[in-house]
Amino acid sequence: MIDGIPPSEEGVQLGGRIMVVIASSLYFQSGIRDFTLDMARNLTGLNDQWAHRFQTIVDEMCNNAIEHGSKPGDEIALTFHLKPGEYLEVVVEDQGTGEKKLTASELAALVEAKKHTSPVDIHSLRGRGLARIVSRWTDELEFTDRKPSGIRARARKYFRNIT
Partner 1 sequence: MVTPIELLYHIEPLAEGNDKQVFVIQFKGELDESNIDNTAKEVYKLLDESANDLPVLFDFSELGYMNSKSIGYLSDWYTRLGEKGSELLVAAAPENIMDILQTVGLDNFIRMFPSVELAKAALLAPPAA
Site for partner 1, rule CB under 8 A = 26-27, 29-31, 33, 48-49, 52-53, 55-56, 59-60, 63, 66, 118-120, 122-129, 132-133, 136-137
Nearer of residues 63 and 97 to partner 1, judged by Cβ: 63
Closest to partner 1 by CB, 36 or 81 = 36
Task: Closer to partner 1 by CB, 53 or 157: give it.
Answer: 53
Cβ proximity of 153 and 161 under 8 Å? no
Q: How far is CA 126 from CA 50, 61, 86, 155, in A?
A: 23, 13, 32, 20
Distance CA 116, CA 131 (A): 8
**Min separation Cβ 69 and partner 1, Å:** 14
Minimum CB distance to partner 1 smaller for 8 or for 47: 47
User: Residue 160 CB, nearest distance to partner 1 (Å)?
Assistant: 20
Q: In whole angstroms, how close is the CB of 46 to partner 1 at the nearest point?
A: 13
Q: Tell me the closest approach of the beta carbon of residue 50 to partner 1, in angstroms.
A: 10
